[in-house]
Amino acid sequence: MAKTDVLSLAILGMLAEQPLHGYQIRKRLSGELGPFRALSYGSLYPCLKRMVASGYIAADDSNSTDVTRPGGSKRSRIAYQLTDAGTDRLARELASSGASSWDDEAFDVRFSLFGKTDSETRLRILEGRRTRLAERLEDVAEGLARQRDRLDAYTAELQRHGLERVEREVEWLDKLIEDERSATRGTDHHTASAGDK
Amino acid sequence: MAKTDVLSLAILGMLAEQPLHGYQIRKRLSGELGPFRALSYGSLYPCLKRMVASGYIAADDSNSTDVTRPGGSKRSRIAYQLTDAGTDRLARELASSGASSWDDEAFDVRFSLFGKTDSETRLRILEGRRTRLAERLEDVAEGLARQRDRLDAYTAELQRHGLERVEREVEWLDKLIEDERSATRGTDHHTASAGDK
DNA sequence: GTTAGCATGTAAGGAGTTACATGATTTT
DNA sequence: AAAATCATGTAACTCCTTACATGCTAAC
């Protein structure tokens, strides 16, 4: 288990704020995470089903308050909400930078949940992501050096642009890391910081 | 058919320069396209197989020049090269901005083949890509406006950063488009052009 | 002589998409 | 009353990765 697929984590985080039904989850997910992620229903509903089966969320199919029809089959709108197990699961997930939060997608989801994450973990994730990008940078630079001559102008430009993009993301991370550190110094530092490690 | 999967296009383009064997193709592919694409063998070899079956490439399993062994089974190193059909296919693919070249991945591959693409097609692809990104920009801006209040600081920052990234890519494309246009005016325009700039 | 890297492949499976199929509710 | 949009779901398929399985060749 523990193989937290990214989607279910995002859903857990979303349901922590309020119960939602599938259709709403999809819209928010699409909006919340950058210009990415158009997530299809064919992906979402089976995931919700699995999560119900695992006991992390409960389907509240109350067609409810208005039982005019004998068959009672209005059927639309199934609201999902976190169970206790789901709340636990989310808390555990949020506390550890567990199953690789460094991939592009996983990082975005983790980052969008930073509001519910403690500052130590935030820092760990930001630094992990930074390390990962720095490695990529090295790989590319190395690759470039090895085959420099064989590259036509367009391929070289593509490389340059890709490199630039990653460099900018590293700068972004550096800024965030710095902010995080100064915020920590200011506020919730509980153990004295004297020292070594 | 016609459903040009990206990988096979990249391979066609690569083999147009020289015959290569699978292992080499993979290394180049990994290097050539930005910091992306680590492409596994489990993906590559079946694709090569399909392409052989379709007649676009030929497998030259010559263990050849050195037939000391009676069984002749050295087996390593299968060089692939374009067939006539493959050359045709590549030419057709390169001439049309066919099956959506606007996705992130497809665009990168198409761009890396710009050296073999005529300038009209180059322009069409660059502009198509630009349009696609501008649309995304609109979608995000709209989404942002609609839910502005419900966003915590981190999610908002993620959005902002995503937006910035796309904006930069649009700028990059604008620069390329401009270059492409002025190059066209300068050189391969057969109606004269005494240039200013 | 053993490790590291070159070289080819297959099988199982994950994660998602498209297309389909259905029906309720709101807006025009 | 028609059209748009809300709402849920399934089945088939695509594309890719991981893990496995094999063997050659160069370097240390």
Average pLDDT of span A167-174: 96
How far apart CA A56 and CA A90 sit, in angstroms, is: 9
Q: Look up tokens 């064997």; give the residue.
A: B21
- Top residue of B155, B157, B169 to mutate, by most chain A CBs within 10 Å, is B155
State the Cα–Cα distance between residues B104 and B102, nearest whole angstrom. 6
Residue whose tokens read 């990653």: A166
Helix (H, G, I), strand (E, B) or coil at B19: coil
Alpha helices in A55-118 (DSSP H): 84-95, 104-112
For strand D, give the nucleotides within 7 A of a protein CB.
6-12, 14-20, 23-25
Name chain A contacts of B157, Cβ cutoff 8 Å.
176
Residue of A nearest to B171 (CA): A161
As given in the structure block, the two tokens for residue A182 are: 């100064």
Is it the case that residue A193 has pLDDT exceeding 70? Answer: no
Answer yes or no: do B140 and A34 touch at CB < 8 A: yes
Q: Does B102 touch chain A (CB under 8 A)?
A: no
Distance of CA B184 to the CA centre of its chain: 22
The Cα–Cα gap between A172 and B157 comes to: 11
At residue B12, what is the residue type? L
Kindly determine whether residue A161 and residue B114, on different chains, have CB atoms separated by under 8 Å.
no
Taking an 8 Å cut-off on Cβ atoms, the answer to whether B34 and A140 are in contact is: yes
Torsion of CA A144, B102, B123, B14, to 10 degrees: 40
pLDDT exceeds cutoff 80 at A149: no
Least confident of A72-76, B161-165, B187-191: B187-191
Q: Which residues of B in 130-189 have their CB below 7 Å from strand C's atoms? A: none
A36 touches strand C (CB under 7 A): no
Q: Give the pLDDT of residue A194.
A: 47
Q: Is B111 near chain A, with CB under 8 Å?
A: yes
**Measured distance CA(A8)–CA(A121) in Å, rounded:** 20
Whether the Cβ atoms of residue A107 and residue A101 lie closer than 8 Å to each other: yes
Amino acid at A52: V
Measured between alpha carbons, how far is A5 from A33 in angstroms, rounded to an integer?
16
Distance B75 CA to C8 C1' (A): 9
Name which of B31, B162, B172 is nearest A143 (Cβ-Cβ): B31
Pick the more confident residue, B35 or A124.
A124
pLDDT value of position B21 = 94
> Does the CB of A31 have a partner CB in chain B at under 8 Å?
yes
The C-alpha atoms of residue B130 and residue A8 are separated, in whole angstroms, by 33
Q: Tokens at residue B10, please?
A: 């990249």
Kindly report, residue by residue over B67-103, the tens digit of the pLDDT: 444 444 456 789 999 999 999 999 999 998 765 678 8
Contact map slice: B 155-174 vs A, CB within 8 A: 155, 157-159, 161-163, 165-166, 168, 172
Interchain proximity A147–B172, CB inside 8 Å: no
Residue A71 pLDDT grade (very low, low, confident, very high; cuts 50, 70, 90): very low
Residue B116: which residues within 8 A CB-CB, separation 6 or more?
Answer: B13, B16, B90, B94
Domain boundaries along the sequence of chain B: 3-67+74-110, 118-196
Alpha-carbon torsion, ordered A77, A82, A86, A92, to 10 deg: 120
Residues B94-116: what's their mean pLDDT? 86
Q: Which phi and psi angles does B82 have, rounded to 5°?
A: -65, 140
CATH 1.10.10.10 fits A3-67+74-110, yes or no: yes
Nearest CA in chain B to A107: B158
Pairwise CA distance, residues B165 & B145, whole Å: 19
pLDDT tens figures, A9-63: 999 999 999 999 999 999 998 888 766 678 999 999 999 999 999 999 999 887 5
Q: From CA B125, how far away is CA B173, in angstroms rounded?
A: 10
Distance CA A4, CA A19 (A): 21
List phi, psi (to 5°) of B57: -130, 160
Longest dimension (CA), chain B: 77
Q: Residue B51 and residue B4: Cα distance in Å, rounded? A: 11
Structure tokens at B21: 């064997």
User: What is residue A84's predicted lDDT score, i.e. its pLDDT?
Assistant: 97
Which nucleotide is closest, CA of B26 to its C1'? Answer: C7
Query: Do the beta carbons of residue A29 and residue B147 sit within 8 Å?
Result: no
Q: Which has more pLDDT, A150 or B72?
A: A150
